[in-house]
Structure 1
Amino acid sequence: MRASLLSCSLGLLTAAQAAAQGPPAALPPVPRAAVVEKAVPAPAPAHATPLLIEPGAPTAVAPTMSEETLSGLTGAACSGSGMPPTGRPFDMCGPRFWLGADYTLFWYNPMQVPTLVQTIPSALVNSPNAFPSTNFPTTPRVGYNGVSGVRVNAGMNFDKVGIDFSGFLLQQRNLHTQLANDGTPVFLGRPFLDASTGGTPTTVNISSPNQYSGAVESTVTSQLYGFDVNARRAWYTFVADQTNLLAGFRYIDLRESVGVSSFSQFPTGDTVAITDLFRTHNSFYGGQVGFNIIYGGTEPGFGFQFTSKSGIGGVNQRVDIYGANTINQGGVVTTEPGGLLARGQTLGGFSRSKFAYMQDIDLKLTYNLTSNFQVSFGYSLIYLSSVVRAGSFVNPLIDPTTIRFTNGGAPSTPSPVPTFSWNADSFVVQGLTFGAQFQY
């Protein structure tokens, strides 16, 4: 045991003496050619002392970071596929310019519309138990399915920021009916609720068998379009290949209408024409923020994009209600305001501004045929929290005793019904997109 301790003590003493030895008097000058930039010297032993350089000898240049290492720290460079090298904030990547177009196939959420036109078997004319054989619209919830449209988008990336623009237009959809006959085998009617009897379902006969002929036409329309413009800024990529923050301006325009007109002609030559029209117009203006995530670059192959935009702003809501009736009796033609459903306090134009929230979601599966041409298939949704819709302002509750063409010809008088009141609903349009894009 004592021999082991003695051996260890001698070993430590020897190491201490070696560490205490001084450096050589001087080292030979380092030749200039021997200095290599970027060379990393091997680590010196722990006991080594600093080298002494003679005055006038060239000093070794400190090694510098490679461009690849520097780019990895700053994220200032994109790979050949247009993808950033790291998850840190980086300069704009991807295509420098793009221009694309999508074919859209969208669905609206339904609009409430009461029955405007009926056909009733002729045998039940003037019967309290009359039941319709057909109604227009066929359902009180009018929906528009498979609405075609087009959407365009364009953008440009600069060094630090980018800009983009997109706009869409959906075709106007018309739900329409037009009927005319002499009252057989069915007669034409316009239904309403009789306020004088507590809301009993009643019908104005437009044609009647063996009495007079008539015609009726009704149309329900809807059209939607909009656009937005945004500034873009690259952000942390997380698990994506690219992530861009978006901030910009959004506009959405929705116009709808419900109209019905009828004409009856009697054997004496007298005629009665009745017109009702309800129109609504919604214009949303607001700011929006969002993000765009991209998987896959500009190289040939599959990719994926997800874009979300949320906006707040004001929606200007306008309702226009028009009604009139014209009677030709014995060659004397008189016209007064008010149809069957559009009359009294509801006539005129009404407008207001409401705060609204907007959400736009777009998902795309992409495929780059080449680095400059891309095709895509996706799903898109637009939500607006407050809109007015034309069908909501068609109030079927009227008092026929105050209307000259339903009370036997006595002059029309004012009535407390129908009345105007604001009705707002949320609005959703969603569907499929099929697109192509040029990029470089």
Structure 2
Amino acid sequence: MVRTSGKDADDASSRAADVERLVSDIDLAPYLGRVADPTATPLTDPVPVSADTPPLLALRDLVADPRFVDMFARALREADPDFRELFPRDASGVLGRFVRAMTWALETVENARGDEAKVAEVVEFARHLGADHRKLELSPRHHERFGEAMTDTLRHLAGRGWDDRLATTLGTTYRVLSTALQQGAAAAQGPARVGATVVEVLRPTRDVVVVRLISDVMVDYHPGQYLSVLTPYTPGVWRRLSPSIPANPAGQIEFHVRDVPGGALSGSLVRGVGVGDRWVLARPLGLLEVDRTEPVRDVLMVAGGTGIAPLRCLLLDMMRHGFNPRVHLFYGARHPGDLYDLPTLVDLAATAPWLTIQPVSEQDADPWWAGPRQELPRTLHRRQTGTLVDVVTGWGSWADRQVLVSGSPEMLRATVNGMVAVGTPRENIRYDRP
């Protein structure tokens, strides 16, 4: 038995007290599976709620408060342990989209002023969203806990301004939307999730990866659509990716992914993907397609970077037809060496007299740090230098074409606005938001 002196005992006691104080200062709740109740302490500056404000708009203002997303994320983690797996650690992106959807729904119902068609539009949107959310495999309990967490968060934000009027309105609204979400999920056809294995990884440029997979069962998507994808590189983060080849019975799928600075998934995916990795694929969505109704109009395609994937998928599908409208494809990137898919497009054009390829790069030469310059294949039209929108609109308004645009959000916004400004009818332009 080891004896300690009084001084040693005092030192040990002091060290234990220091450790206890240190631990008490650290929030271990997320790591221990418990999250402190975010609504336990009243706010010193709650959101003002006026009795003159319609309850739907008062709820909109509460949802739109900058503090809502962080408070709601903590409330969800407390409401049900499953939500810690369903949502990424940083849930701000997902819940930010929820705020935009909820804000739109509340405003639309308020502005409808009893118009059943307008209200039905919101309900139909919720059903459509529910079909997409099948991939999350939510149960009625999840919907109930989600509603409880939202109610607690909004009540906390409103402080003394919360009353029966807001509680009743929120309860009715959430019940209708939650029911529509569950109806949409129940009505959707096919498996909610499909597993897929990475079988090949290509790295055509420093920041782009081409991933080829084989799915456990065939995923039946239309050319131009995108799939929701869950990867092991960032748990809980679903990403929309567009296949670059049409669906086939062998289950072969190819995705193009660029490393976007600050992206929630792209960086870890581009750097970490390897053969043998398992991905999860979910319901196809999207509206990009070539309209073949009579009279068939010629097509203008505008692709920026990895936005070439869904358009190339459409081109490959068109190769199956005996007759096709003329297609003029502008394919752009920042540097010439970033036009990684140009060899494939040139091969397609060699056997498709209806297809014309126009390469575009913002810079005339590759930077020194990009490595050895790759010679680009020859095309009918020489590569042009400039932004995609400047080059495309420099050819005219394209008002007689059906226009398909694919790329980053910034590229989509600039291209669509620029084309409309030079006379392209807005209704002629189709694109999917990433």
TM-score, shorter chain, exceeding 0.5: no
Q: Give the number of the structure with larger relative contact order, counting CA–CA contacts within 8 Å between residues 6 or more apart.
A: 1
TM-score of Structure 1 vs Structure 2, range by shorter chain: under 0.3
Q: Which one has a larger percent helix, Structure 1 or Structure 2?
A: 2
Which structure has the bigger radius of gyration?
A: 1
Q: Which one has a larger percent strand, Structure 1 or Structure 2?
A: 1
